[in-house]
Amino acid sequence: MALFKKYLFNTLGFCLIAIIGFTFIFGYNQNVQAASNPGIVFGINTNTYWEDGIMKTALTKPSLNNDTTYIPLRLVSEYLGKTVKWNQDDFSATISDPTTGKWIIFDQKYNYATTETGENIQLKRNPFIQDECYMVPLRIMSEYFGCSVYWHQDTEGIIINKAPTEQEKISYQGLVMRFQDRGYFQDGLGKEALTKLEIFNGTSYLPLRIVSEYLGAKVTWNEADDTATLTMPESTKTITFNKASIYATTDSGNIQLERAPFVQDDCYMVPARIITEFFGCTITWNQDMMSFLITKTDTPQEAKNLVFSQMQNRLAIINTLTSFRQSEATGYQMVINRTNPIPANFIAGTGKLISVRGQQMETNAGIALQQMINGLSAANMSIQVRSGYRTDATQIYLYNRQVGRQGNNRLKAATISALPFTSEHQAGLAIDLSSNGSLTEAFGSTQQGKWLAAHCADYGFIVRYPQSKTQITGVTWEPWHFRYVGSPEVAKSITASGLCMEEYYNKYLAPQDINPYLPYL
């Protein structure tokens, strides 16, 4: 186990994501491309991150100090398009926006940042150097330049998006928030709430501060009786909420609520629909995403769909982060080769096997295989499942048989049949497929072979041993051999990179290089 563990990237935690999504971030569920859902996503305890849908590796990991995320200044400044001027004499860095002229200075000697207005912004700790990287508080810098920063608690991921343009602000008018999600969008700008939206008998309760600030309503608090009164600009209408009452009091009478207002995570929670409808605003519920949208005036459905699409993008990022963490935690993305053998009696992922067309595979790999076979059937093609999970004894037998066929040339035999404990079949993650029962290079030219090469990533598989990468993989071209890597998102990213698995992890994920096989071939 220790032999391959050192080549695995660390558990994904405090992000990036977009950090996500990122990351979000990129329409991962459909297509991993930089043009889809742009964003940057980080994770705690890992130097792996995503930038516009591309996995990359930083020189260091994010650092969480007093609930504040510190990340390498270079990464976030380059992504946001800001310029950095260093002053080696006083260990300070000036980050400026070439378009607006705004700037902010961080100095390792001080626990505050200085801006062009002369304002000092208090920090919870001084900037610092970590692994030769200048670490600055992400939220301070990004929010100062008007960018979106969102923390997703479940995946411990941070998603950063660039500030919306003026045109985008017009296009994304509205306040959109998802049930049981601390993040929300306000006129195209992603933000983080202190608590989650709650629903009682079909009525959405959300923090009073969020909805009042968006609507531009003035809030008057009365600490003596726990009441909050809202008034709108240029309006005589008022509505008052009381934690001790299921009625909201207005200048025109009382409105009965589903339940009394309450405090949740130090937030005063009030019924969104009551407020918005009382002041003549609109509220729209999207069942698919369990999200609602508040707009100050009625808007066409097309415009509402555009606003909801932001939430959909973030959900794609969150799903990607979740999938990535699950894959990472269960070993779906481990590199298995001569440099990284697996232990005896090892099965990746769930540690359990299921049968597909008479061959066994790790449970989730098997489910994905069946879905891929269904895809082939839908394309009017049949396939034969030749070889899935192999016991240690079976792999030992196959390798020794190949050694005999190659005149006891063990190195040459290993290019055809993997050494015992270096075969992906032994982990339950590999499957060999055939159109006619045989496993030959000709399979790559068949209809089935071409379809699988083009679509296997949609199901979480990659062509593990490409024709042009034999000098690196140490294995001859095997167009019939497909490796499960845990999710379509990761499979698409590897495939789109044009790299074999060893190269991909060396470049993006591995904490140290995975040795190539030269001069084995």
Write out the catalytic residue numbers: 478
Q: Could you tell me which residues are beta bridge partners of residue 65?
A: 68
Query: CA-CA distances (angstroms) from residue 65 to 77, 123, 254?
Result: 20, 11, 47
Q: How far apart (Å, rounded) are the C-alpha atoms in residues 470 and 455?
A: 22
Strands 183-186 and 175-178: antiparallel
Distance linking the first and last C-alpha atoms of the chain: 27
Quickly list H helices, 151-228.
166-171, 208-215
462, 506, 508: which is closest to 485 by C-alpha? 462
272, 246, 137, 88: which is closest to 193 by C-alpha? 272
Q: How far apart (Å, rounded) are the C-alpha atoms in residues 277 and 294?
A: 10
Are 280 and 225 contacting, i.e. CB atoms less than 8 angstroms apart? no
Q: Edge-to-edge strands of the sheet including 183-186?
A: 189-192, 183-186, 175-178, 291-295, 282-286
296, 67, 60, 278: which is closest to 175 by C-alpha? 296
Are 436 and 382 contacting, i.e. CB atoms less than 8 angstroms apart? no
